[in-house]
Amino acid sequence: MKPIAIIASTVGGVILVAGIGIGAAFVFSHHASVQPVAAAAPIPSPTHTRHHHHTKIVVVPAPAAPAAPAAQAPASSGLRYAGQGPNGGVYANSATSSPFAVAVADDYAGGGGSDYEAVYSSVTGQTYGMSYQYVGNGTIEATGGNGALVQFTYP
């Protein structure tokens, strides 16, 4: 190796070692004076323009409960209103008392809609056989007893 190369590599080595030493001295001398630093607040992300779609909500109240059915006019003429039965108005002819007419409708509903019922009259204290027949439009006609004729609605 040439003397110039030896000198250059020696000088380079000395410089390298000196640089490492100076760097180490710098780091260690400042290490003692390092103070904790509070973490920086995160940088907010860029804001985005958002388009909000507004939906209109309409609350519709539930429909009101249906009113009690009005007393229907009797299918047969010559009948009068006798009272209120379990499903609406009860109508009777002139040979039938109002309490008996309502009892006829009550017994039919209580018997489940049979074709024949024995119905007690609180007016006469007797029991009368009544035959029931559907005459249309939700109307039942009962006949029997001593010329009794009763009409009423039944579902």
125-138 pLDDT, tens digit per residue, is 999 999 999 999 99
Residue 62 has pLDDT above 90, yes or no: no
Q: What is the dihedral of CA 19, 21, 22, 24, to 10 degrees?
A: 120
112-121 pLDDT, tens digit per residue, is 888 999 999 9
Q: CA 30 to CA 124: how far, in whole Å? A: 122
- The pTM assigned to this predicted structure is 0.53
Residue 72 has pLDDT above 50, yes or no: yes
Token pair, residue 124, equals: 């006469």
**Spans of all domains in the chain:** 80-153
Q: Which residues contact 135 (CB under 8 A, 6 or more apart)?
A: 75, 141, 151
Percentage of residues of the chain with pLDDT beyond 70: 51
